[in-house]
Structure 1
């Protein structure tokens, strides 16, 4: 039997009425909430007209610099009857039944999703109506119209940083951001926390893929952990994806770094912490003090190994939402390291294509979430064949895509490592080792919008401490 679909006019319109009421109640409790949701939802996205009018009025009051409260909103839209309840009574009910302001972004997204579903339904209904007249016409015209309407919905969930804009709008955005940074109203990105490196690079900027590369023993994880801690100390949310170490090992490094002092004759190393039995009472006190400070930092560790970049992206989105609920903002994702990201299987056996797919997806993730992604990467053995073993761009392993997709590439070099592992040391080698034992070279090999060059930093490798050389 041929079942006819239910007429579109009788299909219930998707809506999120409870989310609309929850969002409005949250704004009545805290006016600042509206600033967090205006980039997500517009008045036109509300299904209930009175809710749309209330939200529009709230936006107008906010733009006028006025506080948002029920009295002002009621005066602005009038206290008409809503079917047994006045606007004033409705606002009072919204205020009384509001749960928590931390759920406001989730409410806003639910409202937006319902609005986009109504658009999809309307587009489908219009297409059916247009093609049901009986006249046979060129279907490409209908298809083009449908594609245009559906594209509006498809891009509605795209982050602002990925949406199409005119050159005029893009240049105005650049001016607005520059003036805001000049006046101290916004940060241009998460800092590395090392002044000389921040001056050369302007920090870890949103949308950037940053590669930190080196041969084994050069201190990739040491520097990666140190930079993540510095960003978190500055108030920036950090999601550290550790594909190599478990969280406890990173915790040992963080404790050593946080408790490090150059005045200590025998500073606490992360190996000392892992071994445990030789710790003094002073060491225990230092660790406990460091732990209290670490507990306050907005830094989360993902310790599951064998993740694909799609899985990392999904978990990063979840972490961003979790941080937003706490009033924090995800600014940096650290991936340790690139060689351990599991390929999808699409290019099984072709390492070049696998890595190309991974680095391309990392760059997309950085732009989608509007965060900096710091990727730790291994350099090829080609560096070992040269007399000067300092890294160059061509040392990046397996594929040119890493160099191509990265906005910045930094290579690490510790001369002390090679001197320590030299088979026969001369007196001159011993002198050189003493002079460079706590020095790590960070070579900016590529920077899309800045200079290349070298920065020498202090690095107590066994304590995971990295800082400005001039401080020691």
Structure 2
């Protein structure tokens, strides 16, 4: 005997309504799927319809505004309303939306089934007429809330022509998308474009975070805003890296506070500049795709200059949390990557997601990454518009030298032999203070696949164009931020 789902659904509805009133930014996401008729409880239906009316008028959805409109046909007592808003809201609303929609469809199907049962008993109706009504009824139920997304050929052609004309008038030296800060990368990608999902993959210690900060600095230099979701390290650690890359002070010296007066003055000027940029950092270590979607939408509505978002990194995110068993993680990654791509299109901004690579590539002679090295690669490879890999040969050279030194000590080699190996490593590191790194373009939906050589200054965790690339077409502006002429004092740097 099936249990009565009504109390559970009413509780779920109440929680969702409370969540809307707690954070009205979620309403657009909910209204894309649900309508007032999807709610079983009459009061919940009325409150939802009032929220929809407020939203369409651009009026904030707050308990005060909602309560003031719960009158006449929409009457809900203040006591009942107070009981609803006292319900604890939830952050991950996707599961609740799905449950309410599912229950609504089942109620409609049950009602429709009873109607069909009555009609089949009517001898005046032909079977083909009943079948036609069944098809129409099923279509009506399945298409609820699904607005048409078709655009006519004329509209699409006109919009495309306008885009081409606009770009022709600007000239081919102007980027279509955001300036990456690297001339050759701009050449192959035409910049990071609206609606694109870009994936940057690398093994640990290659400098993924440093490279993404270089992209962010370039975006900020263009006068646009950027958001970073840092699941791996606190915001302060990101800021250490950004300060080092923008200055002549090494990361190590910044971390321990080793600066002379001139360096302190330089640091103050840089901090002043960064503090005035539209840069936003969320360093929550536990983040679901639903939470990220809600946070980024809310930020974009508060500051429309935000034109670029970074997730560091993809595999640390959570999906809806409803999947279990074999293949669950692959399905979860698929949900996350699909969600990021959809969000990029909805907000019309490029989103950069950093990704770890499989350890198995370390066993190859050629350790340059390939698409198959992406962890849970199927969905990521499919959803991404651009996939970049970062590769630094010296990481493996230095690792091999360290292994030789450790082995020599373990085997009890003479001190002079160990010192010789240590000296060799020291010389190699000095030779490669500024080393060549490769940005491998493994997928480019709208352009060529190639590789871009850049230089990496390890002490300052700074990626930049090689000198030979700085006079080419699509030349970006200086990747260092514009700094104030005088070291204006500031108390605290907060982004």
Task: Please confirm whether the aligned pair reaches a TM-score higher than 0.5, indicating the same fold.
Answer: yes
**1:469 aligned residue:** 466
The offset of 1:230, in angstroms, is 0.9
Matches within 5 A, 1:418-437: 418-423=396-401, 424=404, 434=431, 437=434
5+ long unaligned stretches in structure 1: 23-130, 156-162, 260-266
**1:290 aligned residue:** 270
**1:302 aligned residue:** 282
Q: Does 1:245 align with 2:226?
A: no
Tell me, in whole angstroms, the C-alpha distance in 2 between the residues paired with 1:409 and 1:19: 41
The offset of 1:408, in angstroms, is 0.8
**2:177 aligned residue:** 189
Matches within 5 A, 1:313-324: 313-324=293-304
Tell me, in whole angstroms, the C-alpha distance in 1 between the residues paired with 2:378 and 2:146: 33
Tell me, in whole angstroms, the C-alpha distance in 2 between the residues paired with 1:20 and 1:372: 27
Deviations 1:273-300 (A, max 9, x none): 1211x22111211111111221232221
The offset of 1:240, in angstroms, is 0.6
Tell me, in whole angstroms, the C-alpha distance in 1 between the residues paired with 2:55 and 2:190: 44
Deviations 1:310-333 (A, max 9, x none): 111110001101113xxx2x2211
The offset of 1:164, in angstroms, is 2.8
**Corresponding residue SS for 2:448:** coil
- Structure 1 pair 428–241 and aligned structure 2 pair: CA distance change class (3 A): closer
The offset of 1:20, in angstroms, is 7.8
Tell me, in whole angstroms, the C-alpha distance in 2 between the residues paired with 1:301 and 1:20: 28
The offset of 1:374, in angstroms, is 0.4
Tell me, in whole angstroms, the C-alpha distance in 2 between the residues paired with 1:292 and 1:238: 17
5+ long unaligned stretches in structure 2: 1-41, 61-114, 123-129, 405-420, 471-495
Match of 1:407 among 379, 385, 401: 385
**Corresponding residue SS for 1:421:** helix
Q: Does 1:180 align with 2:156?
A: no
Tell me, in whole angstroms, the C-alpha distance in 2 between the residues paired with 1:354 and 1:165: 32
Aligned length in residues: 337
Tell me, in whole angstroms, the C-alpha distance in 2 between the residues paired with 1:229 and 1:379: 25
- Structure 1 pair 436–174 and aligned structure 2 pair: CA distance change class (3 A): farther
Tell me, in whole angstroms, the C-alpha distance in 1 between the residues paired with 2:450 and 2:465: 16
**1:70 aligned residue:** none
- Structure 1 pair 382–430 and aligned structure 2 pair: CA distance change class (3 A): farther
The answer on whether the counterparts of 2:433 and 2:457 sit within 8 Å (CA) in structure 1 is: no
Deviations 1:157-185 (A, max 9, x none): xxxxxx43234432332221222233349
**1:274 aligned residue:** 255
Tell me, in whole angstroms, the C-alpha distance in 2 between the residues paired with 1:373 and 1:352: 21
Deviations 1:371-391 (A, max 9, x none): 111011111112211111111
Q: Which has the higher contact order (CA 8 A, sep 6+)?
A: 2
The answer on whether the counterparts of 1:412 and 1:442 sit within 8 Å (CA) in structure 2 is: yes
The answer on whether the counterparts of 1:363 and 1:405 sit within 8 Å (CA) in structure 2 is: yes
The answer on whether the counterparts of 1:457 and 1:467 sit within 8 Å (CA) in structure 2 is: yes
User: How does the TM-score come out when normalised to structure 2?
Assistant: 0.61
The offset of 1:428, in angstroms, is 11
**Corresponding residue SS for 1:402:** helix
Q: Which moved more, 1:230-239 or 1:407-416?
A: 230-239
Match of 1:359 among 334, 337, 348: 337
**1:439 aligned residue:** 436
- Structure 1 pair 17–164 and aligned structure 2 pair: CA distance change class (3 A): closer
Match of 1:255 among 243, 268, 272: 243
Tell me, in whole angstroms, the C-alpha distance in 1 between the residues paired with 2:186 and 2:430: 28
Tell me, in whole angstroms, the C-alpha distance in 2 between the residues paired with 1:17 and 1:401: 35
- Structure 1 pair 279–402 and aligned structure 2 pair: CA distance change class (3 A): same
Match of 2:362 among 371, 381, 384: 384
Tell me, in whole angstroms, the C-alpha distance in 1 between the residues paired with 2:343 and 2:58: 30
Q: Does 1:169 align with 2:155?
A: yes
The answer on whether the counterparts of 1:413 and 1:442 sit within 8 Å (CA) in structure 2 is: yes
Tell me, in whole angstroms, the C-alpha distance in 2 between the residues paired with 1:332 and 1:319: 12
**2:318 aligned residue:** 342
User: How does the TM-score come out when normalised to structure 1?
Assistant: 0.63
